[in-house]
Amino acid sequence: MSTSPTEPAAAPPAPPVPLSALLHRPDLGLRLLAGPEDAPLHWVHTSEMADPYPYLLGGELLLTAGVQLTEPARFVERVVEAGAAALGFGVTPVYDTVPAELVEACERHGLPLVEVPPRTPFTAVARALWRLMAEARTRELRRVTEAQQALARAAARPAPVPAVLGALASRLGGRAVLFDPDGAVSLAAGREIPAEAARALRDLAGVVGEATTRAPASASGDGGGLRLAAYALGGGEGLALGVATERLAPGDHTVAGVAVVLLSLLTAPHRGADATVREGALVRLLLGAPPAEAAAALGAGPWTVVHARGGDGTPFAAASLAAALGTALVDTGSDAAGRGTGPVGPVLRLLLASGGEVVAPPGWTLGVSAPVEAAELPAADAQAGRALRRAEATRVPLVRHRPGGLDALVDGDEAAAYARALLAPLTEPLAETLRVWLSLHGGWDRTAAALDVHRNTVRQRIVRCASLLDRDLDDPDVRMELWFALRRWAARQ
């Protein structure tokens, strides 16, 4: 059995499309020359670069006509190293046939190679894949929605906990098990699984159910030929949910997350008392009590602030995240740091007591503050906001605040005033483009991807910034000064 904390996929939320779905479309006329036909495709990228590695994210169908193909074997090695799912080669006008050396290299590396006929433009292949992905996404959303409704109905039954387990097992086509803190099976539903899988699932539940702040909220693994996943329930009772299925579809984690929230609510005997304590703390705060006094009523410090963006777009997303992080203190509609909404949804703010370890659930991007006492929570809120922006710019699931450094030696108010004066000529889009561009070390394509704009738009904006600021953006000293100014400017927005 292998286990590991569940990590977010780098792929987009839409389910992947197998290469065979494109091969079976007669209007495209694609022909498989090497490799398997069931490779999962997440997107399409066209490139005529001699080395496309820096421009690939992984999971692509890379389309090329071989304009700069001089070393086919080396080209295939770089494509495989970048994690591309398949290679599509367009014949004519450069090549009349697919080079034999390219076919041999793809066969050797197990990389699917597809011949694209002259009558099929690359845009037609990309459009067909996007349509197939949209159809798959619609089917997956419908399945997830129906599963959520079934779980909600089960939670309203006279015996809600076994009903929710049964609904979950039925929807996932496997087995759902509720484990006690000591690892014993409390309740189970669904088809029986091999003894090896049962032992592996129990061990996995023990990992997330450990009574420590460093225990992950979820973990996944394999055992007995099945895919296994375990989730810690958020009631603070040490319970864990285990799931065993033959395969894990893209939406299965979302369905399991809904079950985790419902089971956390159903198995937490003191949930009502906790709500009363929170309401009492809010009343104290509204009546003039210092924030530190109100925070003391909610739990022992230190406190950690988390800013989060992402989820699957369902109404249960925020509750699932709160349950995964083990807190009920969540602001679901924040405009933190002036960035409440954006291309991927609103920012959620969560407050965690006792400074526990934070792990980003799949589909979420988190910024985490340093552990602080209650009086320092406003500063921690700013820290989490900056950390989230760094996480989004660098496309990593979680960034923690890094204390100290030279920046901490500068007076905050003076630095902010200088930043406002220096950046005054820039509009918000220009300043944001410059910030992301600098954070990605001047990478045009990565900046364009982070901002969801064309790379030419990035170039035009950066040239405009250089003109308005009258600065040489190739000078490392200028870049450093602008980077510190942009950080101060963003912190005061």
Reply yes or no on whether the pLDDT at 430 is more than 50. Answer: yes
Q: What is the share, in percent, of the chain residues with pLDDT greater than 70?
A: 84
Report if residue 279 sits inside a domain.
no
- Taking only the tens place, the pLDDT of each residue in 253-305 is 888 888 888 888 877 654 444 566 667 777 777 777 777 777 776 666 688 88
What is residue 338's predicted lDDT score, i.e. its pLDDT? 40
Distance CA 263, CA 39 (A): 36
Reply yes or no on whether the pLDDT at 143 is more than 60. Answer: yes
Reply yes or no on whether the pLDDT at 490 is more than 70. Answer: no
- Taking only the tens place, the pLDDT of each residue in 441-477 is 888 999 988 888 898 999 999 999 989 988 888 888 8
Tokens 């097992």 -> residue: 169
Reply yes or no on whether the pLDDT at 12 is more than 60. Answer: no
Choose the final residue of a domain: 226, 250, 267. 267
Q: Which residues contact 257 (CB under 8 A, 6 or more apart)?
A: 231, 316, 320, 323, 324, 361
In this predicted structure, which of 72-76, 240-244, 314-318, 369-373 has the lowest mean pLDDT? 314-318
Residues 305 and 387 in one domain: yes
Average pLDDT over residues 51-56: 92
CA 398 to each of CA 253, 306, 356: distance values in angstroms, whole numbers, following the listed order: 19, 10, 15
E strands, 209-290, in order: 218-223, 226-232, 240-245
Residues 243 and 180 in one domain: yes
Residues 212 and 253 in one domain: yes
Report if residue 40 sits inside a domain.
yes
Report if residue 152 sits inside a domain.
no
Residue 8 — pLDDT band, cuts 50, 70, 90?
A: very low
If one counts the domains in the chain, the total is 4
**Partner residues linked to 306 by β-bridges:** 350, 368
What is residue 33's predicted lDDT score, i.e. its pLDDT? 96
Report if residue 386 sits inside a domain.
yes
In this predicted structure, which of 1-10, 21-30, 128-137 has the lowest mean pLDDT? 1-10
Residue 412 — pLDDT band, cuts 50, 70, 90?
A: low
Q: What is the share, in percent, of the chain residues with pLDDT greater than 90?
A: 29
In this predicted structure, which of 210-224, 255-269, 372-386, 425-439 has the lowest mean pLDDT? 210-224
Residue 200 C-beta-side C-alpha neighbours within 13 Å: 23
Residues 261 and 337 in one domain: no
185-190 and 175-179: which strand pairing?
Answer: antiparallel
What is residue 206's predicted lDDT score, i.e. its pLDDT? 84
Residues 368 and 445 in one domain: no
Choose the final residue of a domain: 358, 379, 403. 403
Q: Of the ranges 105-119, 319-333, 342-356, which is most confident?
A: 105-119
Residues 398 and 466 in one domain: no
Q: Of the ranges 23-37, 146-160, 337-351, 371-385, which is most confident?
A: 23-37
Residue 4 — pLDDT band, cuts 50, 70, 90?
A: very low
Choose the final residue of a domain: 346, 372, 403. 403
The C-alpha angle 119, 121, 126, rounded to 5 degrees, equals: 135
- Taking only the tens place, the pLDDT of each residue in 220-265 is 888 888 999 888 887 556 788 999 998 877 778 888 888 888 888 8
Write the CATH number for 427: 1.10.10.2840
Average pLDDT over residues 123-128: 95
Report if residue 333 sits inside a domain.
yes
Reply yes or no on whether the pLDDT at 316 is more than 60. Answer: no
Average pLDDT over residues 189-213: 82
pTM, entire model: 0.45
For residues 33 and 86, the answer to whether their CB atoms sit within 8 Å is: no
Residues 304 and 384 in one domain: yes
Residues 342 and 368 in one domain: yes
Average per-residue pLDDT for the chain: 82
Full residue range of the structural domain in which residue 312 is found: 300-403
Reply yes or no on whether the pLDDT at 492 is more than 90. Answer: no
Greater confidence, 393 or 53? 53
Average pLDDT over residues 391-399: 86
